Amino acid sequence: MKKVLVTYEIPENGLEILRKHFEVDINKTDKPLNKEYFKKNISNYFGVLTMLYDPIDKEVLNRAKDNVKIISNYAVGYNNINIDIARDYGITVCNTPGVLTNATSEIAFGLMISIMRRIVEGDKYVRKNNFNGWRPKLLIGEELKNKTVGIFGMGRIGKAFAKKCNGFDMNIIYHDRNQLNPEEEKKYNAKFVSFLELIKKSDIISIHAPLTEETKHSFTEDTFDKMKNGTYIINTGRGAVIKESDLVKALKEKKIKAAGLDVYEHEPEIHNELIDMENVVLLPHIGSASKYAREEMSRMAAQAIVDVYKGIAPENKIV
């Protein structure tokens, strides 16, 4: 029986799909597998179900090329995999788009309302026994209504986020490498703008772009300097779209009023100054962490491996 490696334990429904066809090895430790492990062991497997942090680079793929037929990434993004080399070696790569769209957009929206209405600050204030009754100026925040939200990356998640913003009477502008057609712009009540216009006009910026050579460090000191004073920033896309040290500087100088982050530039490491900032809400990369989304991701990632084994073109094939 051919073998499949699952690099971190996933919901059981996906494992059940795999066990019907393969011998399944699962990393049940709480630590990611390192590059040396992949180089030493990857050639033993027909397929590998990877996490978004697994380093599937040229060296690893060079060891995989003779036996591995598919790498199925338990994520939408796949910047952890060298796609060009996988293509050259004839290794199929799949991801799990679509099913985490709503879950991630909900987290982005939750972060936005949390930092603007100072919800987490309020929770901490009460838990420290500081609450002595209603006060006229206690933890005053800002309403979402009539604010301009700038969406950086108008793919599935960006659109789902825009839909939620419409329910709160927000003005929506967006920047993406591809402008939506007029019907979609009307549907989401969203206006396409240049990147410069996005950062200058937005009261809130929500990042939903993937990490590419183009988008890496799109938000740096220079970018923050062009924003309105007191802009809010949300990132549920990829951490390295923001240069974290420059964000810290902008927060300290109050150029950025508050930030809500679910992803980090050097994940899982977080800039130590962000930890102590009251105007920053930090989450442990839980954008897709709903029961529905994670179980569907499990099913999709597993089914892709089975499909390749059966000679069927998988649904979410990248290469």
Q: Which residues are catalytic?
A: 238, 267, 285
Q: State the Cα–Cα distance between residues 122 and 114, nearest whole angstrom.
A: 10
Taking a C-beta distance cutoff of 8 angstroms, is the pair 316, 304 a contact?
yes
Which token pair is 222?
A: 């220079």
| CB 79 within 8 Å of CB 100 | no
DSSP H helices, 174-290, are 182-188, 195-201, 221-225, 244-252, 272-275
User: Is-contact 48 68, C-beta < 8 A?
Assistant: yes
Query: Exposed, middle or buried: residue 146 (CB in 10 Å: 0-12, 13-18, 19+)?
Result: exposed
- Angle 291-292-298 from CA coordinates, rounded to 5°: 90
